[in-house]
């Protein structure tokens, strides 16, 4: 009997790929994802994450980059060894820093739901983040 264990968990194929942040709701209230959040990001969205089959991820918020390891079991996303830069947006104000910290912190443990192959929501603490797969 041969057992294969992947670094990225058992159901990583479902989450693999590039995901662009579409919306964020905190305590049931949708945040205004102002154009200045998207303008700073290289893909023109407030944040994006790319999950690969080898259990690694990378991404960007409005100001900083993040990368690390992830596991996904089909419903729960967790990350480890995550590192993010601290250089961007230092002079832009506290609200952008808080937004980015909330998005990055949501990676630590989120319940993930797919409404289709190209739509994903994850819930972490009091926030719900909605993503669309980049095709």
Assigned CATH class of 12-128: mainly beta
Indicate the pTM of the whole model.
0.85
pLDDT, tens digit (0-9, with 9 covering 90-100), for 51-77: 999 999 999 988 889 999 999 999 999
Q: Which residues of the chain have pLDDT under 70?
A: 1-11, 36, 39-40, 88, 90-93
Average pLDDT, the chain: 84
Q: Domain boundaries in the chain? A: 12-128
The DSSP string of the chain is ------TT-S-HHHH-EEEEEEEEEETTEE----HHHHHTSTTSSS-EEEE-TTSEEEEE-SS-EEEEEEEE-SSEEEEEEEEE---TTTTT-HHHHHHHHHHHHGGGEEEEEEEETTEEEEEETTEEEEEEE--
């Amino acid at each position: 009997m041969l057992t294969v264990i992947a670094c990225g968990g058992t159901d990583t194929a479902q989450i693999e790929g590039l995901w662009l942040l579409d919306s964020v709701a905190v305590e049931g209230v949708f945040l205004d994802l102002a154009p200045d959040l998207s303008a700073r990001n290289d893909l023109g969205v407030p944040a994006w994450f790319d999950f690969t089959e080898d259990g690694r991820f990378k991404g960007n918020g409005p100001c900083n980059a993040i990368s690390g390891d992830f596991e996904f079991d089909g419903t729960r996303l967790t990350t480890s060894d995550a590192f993010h830069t601290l250089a961007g947006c230092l002079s832009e104000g506290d609200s952008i820093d808080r937004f980015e910290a909330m998005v990055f912190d949501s990676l630590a443990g989120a319940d993930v739901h797919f409404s289709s192959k190209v739509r994903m929501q994850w819930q972490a603490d009091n926030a719900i983040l909605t993503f669309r797969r980049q095709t």
